[in-house]
A and B are shown apart, each in its own frame.
Chain A
Amino acid sequence: MKNKSINPSFKVVGDYNLQRNEGVPLDLDWVMSSQANTSAIERRASTFSARRSVKKNYQAAWLLRAIRCIDLTTLAGDDTVGRVHRLCDKAANPVRKSILESLAVSEINVGAVCVYHDMIETAVKRLEGIGIPVAAVSTGFPAGLSPMRLRVAEIEDSVQAGADEIDIVISRRNVLTQNWTALYEEIRSFRQACGDAHMKTILATGELGSLRNIARTSLVCMMAGADFIKTSTGKESVNATLPVSLVMVRAIRDYHDQTGYKVGYKPAGGISKAKGSLTYLSLIKEELGNEWLSPDLFRFGASSLLSDIERQLEHFVTGAYSATHRHPMA
């Protein structure tokens, strides 16, 4: 994927010509009729890696596509300007030039850089003219338990600071107590605060108790206007899994069928291997189709995945297994 395919002057995510999801009124009948059979979903999820296999130049291409969809992330208490600069530079040059040349691919960058609010301006400045959107986690990330007015204000501040995308967290308690109306209204408020910035809704699936809850929460988030639904903050004990992903992308498909809106999907946390990223891409291709295999509709929330993909790409190019230290660190 070449850099020139991205409009360098854009401020809102990507070369995104899709109509945004404007949301629909909360439809509780629909929400409650949504089912998720854990055992059957686990069985289906377990076959993705065995049912599809991409080899050789196909694998190289798919891995490049995976890079294109990465939200390169740093969300640590010890983040500094220097750290964020290094991350942004890596985002702009995720793969060593010589490898790209061997693949006859000119340039590539990642889907976005994802930081805390305080690092937005640093990132925006460092990425100026490069065309990589900056995403900020928000709304009292990761627990989402700060006062509502502060959570809304945080979004507004982040948008003001130049964030193109806002990753919000939902109040898990509304799911656990089945208070769908409250959940819907909360996300609706966040969406309003986002304005033109795209909103990724983090479900924190590891804390929702069941796949059924995840299916229903996905629908409510989309009804309330999420541009993306995202699995996790990366801080829960269980992050993105294939069964959870299957449930969420099926919800996206149903929502698209019913409303015509295309909502993106972002699994986050726990995807650190190139092979795993291929399985995710295959899951997306199978369940949602090729259109979703783009950063406009699919992102990996990952920090260490890129490094493994780089090694696999070098292996493809040279035929010899690679080592981490041969690739510039993020």
Chain B
Amino acid sequence: MNVNQILQTMDYGTAPEASDKATEWLASHKGKFGHYINGNFTKHENLFLTHNPATLQPLAQISQASSKSVKAAIKAARLVQPKWEKLGGHGRAKILYALARYMQKHSRLFATLETLDNGKPIRESRDIDIPLVQRHFYYHAGMAQLMASEMPDAQAVGVCGQIIPWNFPLLMLSWKIAPALAMGNTVVLKPAEYTSLTALLFAEACQQVGVPDGVVNIVTGDGGVGEMIVSDPDIDKIAFTGSTDVGRKIRQSTAGSRKSLTLELGGKSPFIVFDDADLDSAVEGLVDAIWFNQGQVCCAGSRLLVQEGVAERLYNKIKRRMKTLRLGDPMDKSIDLGAIVDPKQLDRISKLVTENSKGDLFQVKENMPETGCFYPPTLITGLSSSDSLMQEEIFGPVLAATTFRTPDEATKLANDTRYGLAASIWSENVNLCLGLAPKLKAGVIWINGTNMFDASAGFGGMRESGFGREGGWEGLQAYTKPTQNRERLDPILPKIGSNTAQCEIDRTAKLYIGGKQSRPDSGYSRPVFDANGIFCGDAPMASRKDIRNAVEAAENAAAWSASNGHIRAQILYYIAENLSARANEFASRINNLTGGKTGSQEVNASIDRLFTYAAWADKFDGAVRNVPIEGLALKLNEPVGKIGALCPDDFPLLGIVTIMAAGLAMGNRMILISSEPYPLVATDLYQILDTSDVPKGTVSILTGSHKDLSDTMAKHMGLDAVWSFSSSDVSQIIQDGSATNLKRTWVNYGFQTEWSGTPSEAHRFLEASTEIKTVWIPFGEG
């Protein structure tokens, strides 16, 4: 077109980014790649093609790893790990810094290669992905430097198996590798089979900057390779980002294995617009929420909830904006939506949208490229929460919308999902925004913004969006473990005796559910004998229905989770006061049942422990993260919710008190299964609770078989976490069952726990009792 013609149309024309350097790099490897193991590129094996989704032309051939290659990578990582850890924080910081610098110096090569391989617009890889990658390495260079002074009780986990998705190939690599290396771990990383090229280019960066051989290993291939990594016994930790279905399988296959696990999974994140919002800005927020990276974003704001009075206006604004989105060649700098990563994904998106007959569909199909893997921006309004498009993750540029009337209804609709990754709130009312943020079940909340990320702010989900955080100090938990070693825990069996009544008046121990003493649903009890074989009383045998009732009671005690630390502290102190008043009775009960002499010590330790967590109740503070925006990123410690715990068999009082106090202090509702051999200590304890103003349903105490109850608790979808310190080996049962709703688990794998109480141990209970929420609050008026 000549200048005069352009003056008529005022089109943008094309502004293609040159890809010759990326193509040269591929050619320098002859278009064929092996794995990167122990500092070297291996000979290629079982080659398969990787394509440019925008053109569907092949880019290169990469290797499907054999089990031999995976083993070799893990072995290399294992061998060098102690040396890498011993290199020290400063030594590792220098390497991470060099990686950050390298990514800056070669940023355009990484960006163009990423866009070629993934199909995302070059603007996004150039302005968002790659700068965040650099930032992640810089930030974690600092974490390596500070580890020794700031985390004295932490050490590396060991060899980390890391499996990453195709939507942000290099960014997810950095989220995994940077913190792992900073903390002294070595890694075997598998990029997604659609998008392995930037990981292989990164491998070259590792060679160039002198990452010691074996510290970073990259093996390519499909999900089968991922399974090999997950199931390998020589892996200490698995970090996975991907679909909830695969995450669930990984949870099951690693259950009971002592492999540390973090999962960053799917989402159906709400984007809530109130009638006083800046609607035009909310529309731009949606562009960043659902049309960023073609909607292939785990935290995409894919569920629009809009206040009824402004719904039509907002829909019209969205539709108009959709018409100005430019879809096409991702290498064009003026493109907003690039290609969907693979024809399979395209089919999936099309199918989900075609199968839906509800609501009103609006798509902008003009100017769709004729070839390549593209899907038009799509809006479906007038849906209800019962429609599958409001529930299912689509992972494409498809926005599903419905309306609400009040803030309360908005909260309920927002939380009406199995997921809990992110949420956006749009309103000019600070009271409304800040009031809503704690009520939303999501790991990340953006107020009047969306898809903001930074290395210093934790990112991760609640519910079936997974567990663990990436970024910030909290992200380091996944890559460290306590320095103390644990001894094996031998099973502790109930004492045996003969059934002779000893009391003048029968004392009936019951279950304690919803603030009431109740008989077990099963109608069974078992006799409990003291150390001398003398009958002490019957303990009720709780069954699955009692668990159900306790969880229901906890559900109704939600007010406790919204209460404040000051109130919780007072109640914990009050429990301590009342326990102290009956200290002798509890001491002799413990001595009697266990046959020990430390009952009095244990009671005193329990009172001490109640004081400790009462003290923490209003002091386990959140933080403000140093993010590069005008605004705040708050790290909030929120209650996990409803926690079920199998209390330790040893320490029948101190164990249950520690778990209960920590959980309550942080605002959780606790379903506690007493020490199995010594249940009568716990049944005495509920009398104390009854007199200490503990709101009903906040704590339930059950007695019975750990083995029988663990499966029900693990699988109960209403529980948010299950812990086990039992001397029965139930860790595998719990972690396997937890996959139902991906609840958090904390199990002892049959090892001892330090109940005597060191400060770091106290912290572990607080951390397990809290879920971290990051709230982004950009601000400013001018």
Contact = CB atoms under 8 A, between A and B. Distances in A.
B781 A286 contact: no
Interface in A41-71: 41-44, 50-58, 60-62, 64-65
A64 B781 CA distance: 36
A270 to B, nearest CB: 16
B232 interface: no
B42 to A, nearest CB: 39
B502 interface: no
A132 to B, nearest CB: 18
B3 A57 contact: yes
B596 interface: no
B284 A39 contact: no
Given A53-B333, A53-B334, A36 B278 contact: yes
A61 B2 CA distance: 8
Interface stretch (B9-17, B71-79, B481-489): B9-17
Given A36-B278, A39-B778, A212-B781, A64 B10 contact: no
Contacts of A44: 281, 284
A35 B14 CA distance: 35
Contacts of A58: 1, 6, 11-13
Nearest to A289: B324
Nearest to A249: B280
Contacts of B13: 54-58
Contact of A35 (B11, B15, B278): B278
Contacts of B336: 51
Given A40-B278, A42-B780, A44-B281, A51 B3 contact: no
B449 A40 contact: yes
Given A37-B281, A39-B631, A286-B324, A53 B2 contact: no
A293 to B, nearest CB: 5
Interface in B101-135: 123, 127
B428 A37 contact: yes
A5 to B, nearest CB: 10
A148 interface: no
B469 to A, nearest CB: 24
B782 interface: yes
A1 interface: yes
Interface centre among A39, A43, A293 (most CB of B within 10 A): A39
Contacts of A43: 284, 449, 778
Nearest to A247: B280
Contacts of A65: 7, 10
B782 A293 contact: no
A103 interface: yes
B6 A38 contact: no
The B contact surface, by secondary structure, is loop
Interface string B579-603: 0000000000000000000000000
Interface string B758-782: 0000000000000000000011111
Interface string A280-306: 011001100010010000000000000
B3 A64 contact: yes
A54 B778 contact: no
Contacts of A103: 3
B10 A293 contact: yes
Interface in A61-89: 61-62, 64-65
A58 B277 CA distance: 37
B765 to A, nearest CB: 38
Given A51-B336, A53-B15, A35 B428 contact: yes
A44 B288 CA distance: 10
Contacts of A37: 277-278, 281, 428, 448
B693 interface: no
A250 interface: yes
A210 interface: yes
Interface string B262-303: 000000000000001111111011000000000000000000
A230 B685 CA distance: 74
Contacts of B282: 40
B630 interface: yes
Contacts of B15: 53-55
A53 B126 CA distance: 14
Contacts of B7: 1, 61, 64-65, 105
Interface in B730-782: 778-782
A212 B780 CA distance: 12
A57 B10 CA distance: 11
B4 interface: yes
Contact of B280 (A57, A61, A250): A250
Interface string B416-457: 000000000000100000000000000000001100000000
A291 B593 CA distance: 88
A298 B4 CA distance: 20
A252 to B, nearest CB: 12
Given A35-B428, A39-B449, A40-B281, A105 B781 contact: no
A42 B782 CA distance: 10
B478 to A, nearest CB: 30
A104 interface: yes
A211 interface: yes
Given A37-B278, A51-B123, A105 B780 contact: no
Contacts of A281: 10
Nearest to B284: A44
A293 B8 CA distance: 10
Contacts of A64: 3, 7
Nearest to A57: B3
Contact of A41 (B1, B281, B630): B281
Contact of B3 (A36, A38, A60, A286): A60
Contacts of A40: 278, 281-282, 284-285, 448-449, 778
A39 B334 CA distance: 24
A105 B279 contact: no
Contacts of B276: 33, 35
Interface string B1-42: 111101101111111000000000000000000000000000
A221 B747 CA distance: 67
Given A1-B7, A37-B278, A54 B2 contact: no
A320 B283 CA distance: 42
A209 B78 CA distance: 61
A285 B10 contact: yes
A10 B280 CA distance: 38
A50 B123 contact: yes
Contacts of A55: 13-15
B449 A35 contact: no
A64 B10 CA distance: 11
B1 A39 contact: no
A57 B6 contact: yes
A61 B13 CA distance: 11
A39 B629 CA distance: 9
Contacts of A35: 276-279, 281, 428
B4 A105 contact: yes
Contacts of A62: 6, 10
Contacts of A209: 782
Interface centre among A51, A56, A57, A61 (most CB of B within 10 A): A61
B261 to A, nearest CB: 35
Contacts of B11: 58
B729 to A, nearest CB: 53
Interface centre among A1, A33, A50, A103 (most CB of B within 10 A): A50
25 contacts: A1-B7, A35-B278, A35-B279, A36-B278, A37-B278, A39-B779, A40-B282, A40-B284, A40-B778, A42-B780, A43-B284, A43-B449, A44-B284, A50-B123, A50-B127, A54-B12, A54-B334, A56-B13, A58-B6, A61-B10, A62-B10, A104-B2, A105-B4, A210-B781, A290-B10
Interface of B: 1-4, 6-7, 9-15, 123, 127, 276-282, 284-285, 324, 333-334, 336, 428, 448-449, 629-631, 778-782
Given A35-B276, A36-B281, 13 more contacts: A39-B631, A39-B779, A40-B285, A43-B284, A44-B284, A51-B336, A53-B334, A54-B12, A58-B1, A61-B7, A62-B6, A64-B3, A65-B10
